[in-house]
Structure 1
Amino acid sequence: MIPYGRQSVDASDIAAVVEVLQSDWLTQGPLIERFEQAIAQRCGAAHGVAVCNATAGLHLACLAAGLGSGDWLWTSPISFVASANCGRYCGASVDFVDIDPRTWTIDVAALALKLEGAARQGRLPKVVVAVAFAGQSADMCSLAGLARRYGFTLIEDAAHAVGARYAGKSVGCGEFADMTVFSFHPVKIITTGEGGMVLTNRGDLGQRLRLLRSHGITRDAGQMSEDSHGAWYYQQLELGFNYRITDLQAALGLSQLARLDDFLARRRALAARYQALLANLPVSLQAPQPQAESAWHLFVVRLQVDRIRRSHREVFDGMRAAGVGVNLHYIPIHLQPYYRELGFKPGDFPQAEGYYAGALSLPMYPGLSEAQQDHVVDSLRGLLT
């Protein structure tokens, strides 16, 4: 079975982790800060805060933005559920904005219209989470303009987009989003096993993210409410979480980061080859977002269901039967039972639902060979023609 995604781990990655295992620090050691600084420097951000996974990063970013009960978070319905759940963790209400039918990212025109109505009703969102879908940013320039106009915090869920670029700069640089969240899950661009990071240019947000990441505890005398009792002393300033990453993970991440450009080049070559091979098939591809350069975490096709003789389900099952581990990213979040119980229903976001009716994620990872890619496309062709 050819998987839809997988990690690329080599001898240098293994050696980096073994070196940590033989050291004095397995967690809360010096490699974590080195990893944070390396990612922040690569992206041009002032602060990087490593966490145990991107979901934790989204949660902390929302808390750092002051999201809480009585507030609203808006996001795209085409994403993993974490993009919305982070608002619910904070006690906030969640709503969605439909996707652009071409780029499959949040529809800026629909967002602007919804913001106008929300302003009249006094129900503006405190946070908007913009999802960089499949590795490609949304229209971040326009989103940043709307954030300034309406006063919401803009968080980019860039779990798919480590190494991607927008407007000539690295995703995560902080020029457009207040905070950017990366994922280092094994199927992502680089991996730490599990893990994530929040990038920001604001010192106040960086400080709060670090505090909340580790139980709300500080050893900084400047933040304490009374003089220190001694070298052992710490204070819990607020209710935080244990969202820390380990030195083992940071070592793997640093090693992987050294090969990021190679990973990106291979993914982009595979994407270009897919585009050529699929040119005459009844599928639609993700349209490029102006100013965006994708990291190609996923390669998604949308079946033109009115032009094929098999159903979406039959094509999916047929690909699996042919040894191709296709997947589907994503089921619209508002159709999940949890969100239906909150009042969402089919028909609320028709572009997202139409996308779901034909979406198929093809295998995409650096180790995918051209022969395997040919098998993927030949199998799809046999099912569609």
Structure 2
Amino acid sequence: MIPYGRQDISDDDIAAVEAVLRSDFLTQGPAVPRFEAAIMAETGAGYALAVNSATSALHIACMALDLGPGDWLWTVPNTFVASSNCGIYCGAEVDFVDIDPATYVMCPKALEAKLVQAEAAGKLPKVLIPVHFAGQSADMAAIGALARRYGVRVIEDASHAIGARYQGAPVGNCAHSDICVFSFHPVKIVTTAEGGVATTNDAGLAQRMDLHRSHGVTRDPALLQGESAGGWYYEQVALGYNYRMTEMQAALGVSQMTRLTQFVARRNALAARYDDLLAGLPLTRPAQHPDSYSAYHLYPVQVEDRARVFAYLRENGIGVNVHYIPVHTQPFYRARGFDWGDFPASEGYYNRAISIPLYAGLTEADQDRVVAVLAEALNG
């Protein structure tokens, strides 16, 4: 089986994790700050907070922005459920903005129309979460300008996009957002096994996320409300969670980040090769916005008779997948009032979408096999 995605683990990665296992710290040691420094060096952001998953990063980002009951969070339907669930965790209401049918990311025109309606109804969102689907950045200049006009805070869900660029600058620099979140799940560009990072340029937001990831507990003299009784003294000054990243995860991340540029370049080369190999087949290839340099977490194509094509590929050893079933059609969200037909661009994309194999270790021979089997499926 050729999987749709997989990690790339080197001997150096294994040695980095082994070194931690032989060290004095398995948690709350020096590896996590080193990983955060690597993320800041890559993105140019002023702060980076490592946690145990991108879902946790989204949650603490929402908490840092004071999202709560009575507030609204908007995201896109074409994403994993974590992008919207983080709003529910905070007691907020959730709504969606449809995607651009060409690029599969949040459509600025749809966003503007929805903001106009929401302002008239007195229901503007407090937080907006555009998702950089498949590794391609949303049009953050347009989205950021709209957010500033309407007083909306922005969290970029860049779970697919470490190493990507937008208008020549690294995704994660927060030029058009308050906070940006990355994922390091094994099928992502680089991995920490499980893990996430939130970047920001705002010292206050960084401080709040730091508290929320570790029980709301601090030893920082500037935050203590009582007088320190000694070196053992700490205080809980906020409600937080145990979202810390382990030293083993961080050490793996530090090692993996040394190959980020290599990974992204390889994915782009494979994507370009797919573009050529698939040019004559009856399918839609993923379009790229001229302002974007994708990290190519996924290579989604659109085909007719998706169920038959999907089954044929799986039966013939091609481990395809589908990203994503629109969030608003999930039973949990349908119970909250959403239904099929609410966001036609996202639904139209989903009904024809298949993610074919793409990862740094994919060989050209394997890629040729994927294309050959896909051509058989499409030609009946």
Aligned counterparts of 1:154 and 1:221: Cα–Cα separation in 2: 30
Q: Who is 2:195 aligned against?
A: 195
Aligned counterparts of 2:338 and 2:306: Cα–Cα separation in 1: 24
Which residue type is aligned with residue 164 of structure 2? A
Q: Who is 1:134 aligned against?
A: 134
Structure 1: unaligned runs, 5 residues or longer:
306-310
The number of equivalent residue pairs is 379
Q: Secondary structure at the match of 2:61?
A: helix
Contact 1:99-1:352 at 8 Å conserved across structures: yes
Q: TM-score, normalised by structure 1?
A: 0.98
1:334 aligns with 2:307: no
Q: What is the CA RMSD across the aligned residues, in angstroms?
A: 0.6
Aligned counterparts of 2:359 and 2:251: Cα–Cα separation in 1: 21
Which residue type is aligned with residue 255 of structure 1? S
1:247 aligns with 2:272: no
Q: Who is 1:370 aligned against?
A: 364
* Structure 2 counterparts to residues 192-341 of structure 1, below 5 A: 192-303=192-303, 305=304, 311-341=305-335
Per-residue CA deviation, residues 46-69 of structure 1 (Å, 9 max, x unaligned), is 000000000000011111111000
* Structure 2 counterparts to residues 1-385 of structure 1, below 5 A: 1-303=1-303, 305=304, 311-385=305-379
Per-residue CA deviation, residues 52-98 of structure 1 (Å, 9 max, x unaligned), is 00000001111111100000000000000000001000000000011
Aligned counterparts of 1:155 and 1:269: Cα–Cα separation in 2: 29
Per-residue CA deviation, residues 201-244 of structure 1 (Å, 9 max, x unaligned), is 00000000000000000001111111011110100011100000
- 1:290 is displaced (CA, Å) by 3.1
Per-residue CA deviation, residues 5-44 of structure 1 (Å, 9 max, x unaligned), is 0000010000001111111011000111111011111110
- 1:130 is displaced (CA, Å) by 0.5
Per-residue CA deviation, residues 262-291 of structure 1 (Å, 9 max, x unaligned), is 111110110000000000111112221231
- 1:165 is displaced (CA, Å) by 0.3
Contact 1:98-1:110 at 8 Å conserved across structures: yes
Q: Who is 1:308 aligned against?
A: none
Aligned counterparts of 1:3 and 1:90: Cα–Cα separation in 2: 36
Structure 2: unaligned runs, 5 residues or longer:
none
Contact 1:139-1:290 at 8 Å conserved across structures: no
Q: Secondary structure at the match of 1:367?
A: coil
Aligned counterparts of 2:229 and 2:94: Cα–Cα separation in 1: 44
- 1:312 is displaced (CA, Å) by 1.2
Q: Secondary structure at the match of 1:58?
A: helix
Which residue type is aligned with residue 100 of structure 2? D
Aligned counterparts of 2:277 and 2:78: Cα–Cα separation in 1: 26
Identity rate, percent: 57
Q: Secondary structure at the match of 1:221?
A: coil
Per-residue CA deviation, residues 114-140 of structure 1 (Å, 9 max, x unaligned), is 000111111000000000000001110
